[in-house]
Amino acid sequence: MQGTTVKAKPFLKWAGGKTQLLDEIVSRLPLEMKEGKINRYIEPFVGSGAVMFELVQTYNIEDVFIYDINPELITVYQVVQKDVEPLIDRLSQLEEKFLSMEKDERKEMYYEIRDEFNQNLVNFHFDTYGDHKIERASQFIFLNKTCFNGLFRVNKKGEFNVPMGDYKNPTICDEENLRAASAVLQKVSIYQGDYKQSREFVRDKTFVYFDPPYRPLSASSSFTAYSKFDFTDENQKELAQYYRELDKQGAYLMLSNSDPKNTDPNDEFFDELYAEFHIERVAARRSINSKGNSRGAITEILVTNYLAQ
């Protein structure tokens, strides 16, 4: 990327973020991507954007489109893209104040900002924030960097309800990376909405990477509430149908998800759902689990509609 010598990486912590799986994903990209024959990239569930940042900075992609249903997340992306310097100024103020405090004062500040964040929620669309976008984005990033495990979780009302984490000196304002991310995002079209809205940009030389909310491995490990809408098994089935429709349009597709066989060897949910495609199981590590001793090696699935070479 011109304008920066620093390689941008995700500026948010994110449950299910793909930084740890990047090597596995990159090694399975379509050969046409590596040969420069794919000129369009779409990510309908952008999350932390780890794959997007990697691909945009590595390959000669002309058009990039990212989506997410979460209006708060899209607000942050838009502010980093268009108003990174005032965002950095505000985050620097928050970081300086937070780090100068004792633990009890930090806790008070955290919950004050969380309460303010929740009091000013919009119902569905990020454009409602108007002139308050920079403050909104700074609160989101502050909470993300100081909450428990960087988890974005909301209740049915859409209110952010993650408790404060226990970090000695959290980096709330990573100026260098925010500027690098802003430089990358100059060539990215950012949309808030349902993943199906991405259809209008799909062409035959398009690569689409799906990273939906993962199907929980157990009732106690559900981290699918990135918005106030759950992502159920029925939603997974609808997504698989959309995947099949884009396959018929000639797009190159990859999808990641949890592997049910980690907890039930007989669970064929995804094997049956994507039976006509290529399914691989790759090693991963749990990034979020309430029980520390349960964070260990597991497998996740990668589904492609092409044979990786």
- CATH number of the domain within which 129 lies: 1.10.1020.10
Q: Does 111 map to a domain?
A: yes
Q: Does 214 map to a domain?
A: yes
E strand map for the chain: 40-43, 63-68, 188-192, 206-210, 252-258, 278-285, 297-304
**C-alpha span between 90 and 111 (Å, rounded):** 18
Q: Does 107 map to a domain?
A: yes
Q: Which residues lie below 8 Å from residue 272, measured CB to CB, with a gap of 6+?
A: none
Listed range (111-115, 127-131, 276-280, 305-309) with the worst mean pLDDT: 127-131
Over residues 225-277, the pLDDT tens digits come to 444 557 899 999 999 999 999 999 999 999 999 999 999 999 999 999 999 99
203 and 298 inside one domain: yes
Which CATH number characterizes residue 39's domain? 3.40.50.150
Q: Does 265 map to a domain?
A: yes
Checking DSSP bridges between strand 252-258 and strand 188-192, what pairing results, if any?
A: unpaired
291 and 211 inside one domain: yes
Q: Does 98 map to a domain?
A: yes
**C-alpha span between 257 and 220 (Å, rounded):** 17
- Does the pTM surpass 0.85? The reply is yes
Over residues 8-44, the pLDDT tens digits come to 999 998 877 788 899 999 999 999 999 999 999 999 9
Count of Cβ atoms closer than 10 Å to residue 88 Cβ = 19
Q: How many domains does the chain fold into?
A: 2
Buried b (16+ CB within 10 A) or exposed e, 137-168: bbbbbbbbbbbeebbbbbeeebebebebbeee
95 and 237 inside one domain: no
89: containing domain: 74-176
57 and 150 inside one domain: no
